[in-house]
Chain A
Amino acid sequence: MSSNRKRLSVGARIIREQPVEFTFDGRKLAGYRGDTLASALLANGVTLVGRSFKYHRPRGIFSAGPEEPNALVTLGTAGRREPNLPATTLELADGMVVESQNRWPSLAFDMQSVNGLLAPFLSAGFYYKTFMGPTRRAWMFYEHFIRKAAGLGRAGTGVDPDHYEVRHAFADVAIVGGGPAGLSAARAAAAAGARVALIEQDFLLGGQLLAEPSDSAAAAWLRQAEAELEGFETITLMKRTTAFGSYDGNVLGLVEQRDPTNPQPNGETRQTVTMLRIRSIVFATGAIERPMVFSNNDRPGVMLASAARTYLNRFAVLPGKKIVVATTNDGAWRTAFDYAAAGAEVTVADLRPVPPAALAAEAGRLGVVVRAATRIVDLHGGHAVRRVTLNGPEGQSSAACDLVCISDGWSPTVHLTSHLGVKPVYRDDIDGFVPGVFSASQFGAGAMIGAYATVAAIEDGHRAGIEAAASCGKSAPVSAPSKLDLGETGSSVLREALPAGRAKAFVDFQMDVTTGDIELAHREGYESVEHLKRYTTLGMGTDQGKTSNFPALAAMAALRNATIPETGTTTFRPPYTPVAIGALAGRAIGHHFKPIRRTPMHDWHMANGAEMLEVGLWMRPYFYRQSGRDVNDAYVAEMRNVRQAAGLMDISTLGKIDVRGPDAAIFLDRVYANGFAKLAVGRARYGIMLRDDGIVFDDGTTTRLAENRFFMTTSTAKAADVLSRLEFLLDTAWPDLRVAVTSVSDEWAAMSVAGPNSRAILGAAFPALDVSDEALPHMGLLESEWEGRGLRILRLSYSGERAYEIYVGATAGEQLWSCLLEAGRLLALKPYGVEALGALRVEKGHVAGPEIDGRTTLDDLGLGRMAGKRSGFVGDVLRRRPALQAPNRQRLVGLECIEDGKRLRGGAILFLPDEKPHGHGRGRVTSVTFSPERGHYVGLALLAGDVAAEGSEVVAVYPMKAETVRARVVSPVFVDPQGERLHG
């Protein structure tokens, strides 16, 4: 086994019988099962782990948990590569491949560390000052280099072979955090009768108890607590699971990492997101230790005091033999004592003038040097700390060391309650923010509400567990928890003052924000914590400022001469720790990204050369490859065939709604702008609906099947909206109307036969039916049966040619489609796709989605005559608003291209010929097509009414392709303006 030279020979919670091999930047290293990557690196004497975001300063391991700002690494290779993972939360597993980040060419020798020399220029607000105003263009040039230099790890570009899952789960009570408070809460809630989910981000339960020696009373308590919990079938233990967000209605977002030490050869789910819905929640999220701020406090070898204790007692790693503990409180002394007991040479620099006598006595017994009223002012060493400069009553002195442990008190972890809008409130006695008022079904316990001592946390958790269970109606009697008193003494309220004028004193390690940046922000007026955050980027790293938030606002409070509550705190938002997008997506990727809707004739299209197009969720034939080389060739050929012979189109995607009831005609009369009450049975009518604000909503045809029964079609895109709107009107506006609406979209396959040969084809396909013009006139209906299914033939035209829409029971769709093609074989019937369909309607001047765009009125579209003098329909009153009558309002016109060899493009902006093409212009081209009949490109456009006289010229500008083309304003009906072909 290689090195592990900093590893002690006994104790701790690693499994020495199970060595684990991994590589770091290509170097083969070893640790043990039970290690984190961070503890294994420290055991191997690796102190330099990464480079900082902005200045590329060398950084080491700073914490032992998810608050880690420095030791971010990239895990895995190829498609499994995942960047920016804190080494402190990665469970060590065999074969792990780990790389350091943000360094070039190597971690030890980094070219861009010269950025550190440029620090005076890269201070807060650097980008705003440098690249705004007249120098803004410079950004375009420098952006590439700046983005390359500053940054974190890079994700892989390969396809990730692993699975991710999203699931929903339920319980009575969720306990977030498996420390002493959480364990005690889980036991109490389960004993009271509740179904409990206990959520712990670590792979071991215990929280801060894991920092206690493995042969201590704490360890015994923990063993007993775990055994007790395992006795409850009603407790779901979720280790390796982080609650990343808490949401309204007692929902927690959880992300669970798989057990990396137990790989499944047949593939497995790497991460699982669980949306956990519970009836009550106990937040037992603990607290995060705060760093002290002094020059070069970011060097490798500087560590939070509690983290140093965790590495010693949980992982048997002694990262330093000569250590300085700098603190303002009692807690860090425990680190000093444990290190001294493990054989290290220890100095405690306590900022307090008179540290507690009991601590001083214990220090004396263990040979710990105590320096009261003393702080670290500077630190020396590059890739590892060598010595610190101390400043105390006897002046400045130097102390050699290889590990510096710092603690400036603790901050309760209030992130999750903050997500819910529970404002943190400042508590003087603990000098920290705790959650304000919880909602009735949520409870806090332990350190997160300021109960730092273990004995109090256990009692607190017990109380919260009972209350949480009671709020779900579970209140069986619960026995008292076993006590554990670790004798922690109270937290100090002395906090280190801002070290004014100190260089390179870091507050936010991950975002490279120093006290100097905070002073600058203050000087320039960015005093509010929210401004401070945005101006300096403080707290905007992947760690969300877990260690930096409080020191920064304390520093700002001091600069403003204000109290901490006056200065306030920023709002925490989900996620608590970064969550991979892949985990949130779960299985909804690739083919499963969204559902696909296929028409009954889909298989035929696929088997017969159709190029398919996604239209919303629908797959529709775009064009058929036998019609031409590419879409441009094909659609023109398909159009010609419709105009000259006949075409067959799959229109099953249209929305279809059954409207029935004694008041159905009155209802339709109100929802359509044109009248339907007088529509005769057996006849169809084109209808157009408005929104309440007078803007056009959708169009379609509605056929009267019987006195009280109608068959409505809608556009493909608006099918769901129209149905919902009709239901809204019936349920809320006119509940007195006796009408029922039902979607029948999927019940019917629909196809359109269009072209001069269409009647002959129909006759051949349905020899038993009379399809003569007398029996089936334009806008007529023929109802029958075909192969045992319902059949409706409507004589309607979208293309302007004689045409029939044929509806048949969906299961017979493909059969009828083939039957029609067979019947039309000698009459040149060919299928056509949506591109030709759209082109035919443009030639005919029919409006569709590009024109009915949620901004146009009936008058804009030239359809004002449809409403005529009617009133009392939806949207009627507001469509008359004066602003909608303005003479320069854009309205529908036809355009024809008058330059040889050029084309119109949808989206082109329209200008007058003598106008400089700048800005929004006079209108825009909405739809275009090549017109085989006209021999050039034609289009529909919305053009300002005051310049839209027929015969006038405009210029269509398409800046994306630098195209400018002249066009003439004409009638939007390019083909058969008299409508004679409908009967041809």
Chain B
Amino acid sequence: MLRIECPCCGPRDHDEFRYGGDASVKRPAHDDPDPEAWYRYVYIRTNPAGPHREFWQHVTGCRQWLVVERDTRNHAIAAVDFARKLPARKSTLRKSPA
């Protein structure tokens, strides 16, 4: 029974959250045409016994997507942060349409 310290709402029971999978995989840019990159992103997981960065959404709270670092061996949570605070990546933004 996890308790996740939501950076917006405080400590909450995991019933309030939705699991979103591995946060350590790198999502290719939206227009990346490389099938290999997408294949790795969608299917390849390391499944570690130990610290694991994963996405959780506080669905019945602030609805923010969070990155939770959870130890898969004992469910101890070492860190929680907003997913939006992830290291800035190269902008994928195109010019606004005419």
Contacts and interface: CB of A to CB of B under 8 A. Distances in A.
A251 B1 contact: yes
A873 B86 CA distance: 22
Contact of A666 (B18, B32, B93): B93
A733 B42 CA distance: 14
A874 B30 contact: yes
Interface string A645-667: 00000000000000000110110
Contacts, number: 84
A110 interface: no
A335 to B, nearest CB: 42
B97 A665 contact: yes
Nearest to B32: A877
A277 B11 CA distance: 12
A597 interface: no
A970 to B, nearest CB: 35
A736 B1 contact: no
A696 to B, nearest CB: 15
A248 interface: yes
A877 B65 contact: no
Interface stretch (A723-731, A860-868, A906-914, A924-932): A723-731
A248 B35 contact: no
B65 A728 contact: yes
Interface string A260-290: 0000000000000001010000000000000
Nearest to A742: B63
Chain B, interface size category, equals 35 or more
A249 B75 contact: yes
Contacts of A952: none
B59 A249 contact: no
A872 B18 contact: no
A878 interface: yes
A343 B59 CA distance: 69
Interface residues of A, number: 36
B46 interface: no
Contacts of A734: 30, 92-93
Given A249-B1, A877-B33, A692 B38 contact: yes
A736 B2 CA distance: 31
Interface string A559-585: 000000000000000000000000000
A489 interface: no
A248 B74 contact: yes
Interface in B20-38: 20, 23, 27-28, 30-35, 38
Given A731-B65, A877-B35, 16 more contacts: A248-B75, A249-B1, A249-B75, A421-B74, A662-B96, A678-B97, A693-B42, A731-B82, A731-B84, A732-B27, A732-B55, A733-B27, A735-B86, A736-B91, A871-B31, A872-B31
A-B CB proximity, top 3 nearest: A731-B65, A872-B31, A248-B75
Interface of B: 1-3, 18, 20, 23, 27-28, 30-35, 38-39, 41-43, 55, 57, 59, 63-65, 74-75, 82-84, 86, 91-94, 96-97
29 contacts: A248-B1, A248-B75, A249-B75, A275-B1, A277-B3, A421-B74, A439-B74, A666-B93, A670-B30, A678-B97, A692-B38, A727-B65, A728-B55, A728-B65, A731-B83, A732-B27, A732-B65, A732-B83, A733-B27, A735-B86, A736-B93, A737-B93, A872-B31, A877-B28, A877-B34, A877-B35, A877-B38, A878-B39, A881-B35
Interface of A: 247-249, 251, 275, 277, 421, 439, 662-663, 665-666, 670, 677-678, 692-693, 720, 724, 727-728, 731-737, 871-874, 877-878, 880-881
